[in-house]
Structure 1
Amino acid sequence: MQLVFEVCEVADGNPVSTVRKVFDGVGGVIGRGSGCDWVIHDPSRLLSSHHGLVGCREGRYFLTDISSNGIGMAGSCERLRKGQARLIEDGDVFELGALSIRARLMEPVQPFGEQPVITGVPIPDDAFLALDPLQALDLEHQRQSTSDELEALSAGVGEPGAWADRHAADREQVAMPRRVEPANELPRVDSGALASPSDDVFWMEFAAALGLDLGKLDHVARKALAIKVARLFRLEVERLQHNRAYEEQVRLISTLHSDYPG
């Protein structure tokens, strides 16, 4: 199941650079920060650097408010509780600052060129020209009366004459396989195979904390996701530190005004 977010309305009328985002089985971060998965430029700055967190669990998508201005539901007074995941339904319209985005849940469409095609062994056009009806009946009788094992052994015996003559030269040029001594090389060990049981427990707890399903990601992709989450966490900590410093300055200014009125 895919989650498609589309910007359906902009309150201030400013154009939006990216009006559509598809989440295919994984979540991500929405905001105007450069590290977000869906970066939305908002000149009004009502959209936070990291405004919303999309999570995917058991084929369902969730939206969590991680912003300073909050996330509302269009057409109602409902607002998402900060830090609490809300199930996304098809057709939901969320208000993020001056933007309204509509959620669509749809099955992924597989391109026609990528449709699986089951093909057998190619047979030349003239493969059966040399067979007469009596010979065909005889071969059919032999095919029905023999077992699968005998048929596999005798599959190459009844080749048509013309086709066999034409491919005889090709068979003569084929080099017979020879036994090659194994090289003294150490076997490659997949990094994912080295993961200890404690690593598995860590990734399970990490996925539960994010509200994401990491079952489809290999070890390298999980490490990349962890680094990205750590980077976002660092940015959020820096933002909180900046806000705390700003509040401290405001408190100090207020104290000075109260000590020296006028």
Structure 2
Amino acid sequence: MELLLEVINGSELKSGCSPSWAFRPAGGIIGRNFDCEWCIDDQDSYISRQHVCITSEHTAFYLTDLSRNGIIVNGIETLKAGVRHRVGQGDTYLLGTLEVHARLIEPRGMHSGRQHPLPIFEGAVVGAHDPFFMRQSPNNGDCSVDDFSSLAERRLDTEITYVQTRVDREQVRLPTWVPESTPVLHEPFLQTPDEENGTFWQRFGEALDVDLTNIEPSACEALATHVARLFKQCIEGLEHASSTRNELMSEWQLSAPAVGERDDASAEVRFDSVIRQLLLRQSTQVAQTIIRSFRDSQAHQVALLAGCRAMARSTLEHFSPQRLHWQFEHERKSRLRTCGSRWRAYVSHHRTLAQDDTWSAGLWARDFTSAYDEQIRLINSL
């Protein structure tokens, strides 16, 4: 059984890297070091020096994550570092931006009961495999029957079984002369600290605009833990605020979104989707989603203030003396214009408005909604 790994998006590979590799039961290492069985390197330098270890046991292949950057299986599960994972037929592994497809291949002719004859290639000398021809050759002299039997046994012992394989699937290296060297013991397949580990805290400090050069590693790790916890609380707060805002807009029958016309799915902020996008190195989309959510909340607050002001002005105008005087003149309930008659008319008018839902509904539909939508349009034009 063989394991064939192929890079689907070969454009992400650096020049000179093979897009596929076939692993046999002996296994091997995948990484950017030159001593790895499959030496690959991506454009973003996401691949570690020793990224993946391939092993085999009972015709099954296993994959072990040796890196700190992580491996995602089928776009869902993240492998635990140092834990073996059985490779399935058709699995897809995401190493940064590289999508690696796995296939289990059984070589042809491995389980057949018959032996394949040795093929004769064009230009080959037939006598090199024929004992009778060798006996008649003047260079060999006389040969006995024992010589014939020894030649036949030697041919049976060295008979080769050829496996038909596509040329583009074979990983063949050109032969080169190498100087003799003493055997070197292989280092154990344990992940060593990356050379870039020292620059991680520097980049982390630059992102926070804080100098972490003289800070102990334990303090830096504690800071990173608190930052991650606060980030989670922030995203969950944005998600709750977005849900509350949508419920209020539905109750007030407001159809305009907070900022611009767009789909509701793109405006939602969810912690699990944010983490998934960050693992897929889609930080730009995450930043845009968070910025939109904050802007939605700010625009909603400003529009609420504008709507409440419009309702207050409309109410104050409705109960102004000039409007009440015109209302009482229109109704003509009393010909005597005394203070008592005006007060009784005002009390009756207020009772009528309190029992009439049309007037209060008109404040929302006419004054509040129009002011809210107008303020949103002004914010969108900025």
Q: TM-score, normalised by structure 1?
A: 0.47
> Where is the strand percentage greater, Structure 1 or Structure 2?
1
Q: Which has the higher contact order (CA 8 A, sep 6+)?
A: 1
Q: Which has the larger radius of gyration?
A: 2
> Where is the helix percentage greater, Structure 1 or Structure 2?
2
Q: TM-score, normalised by structure 2?
A: 0.33
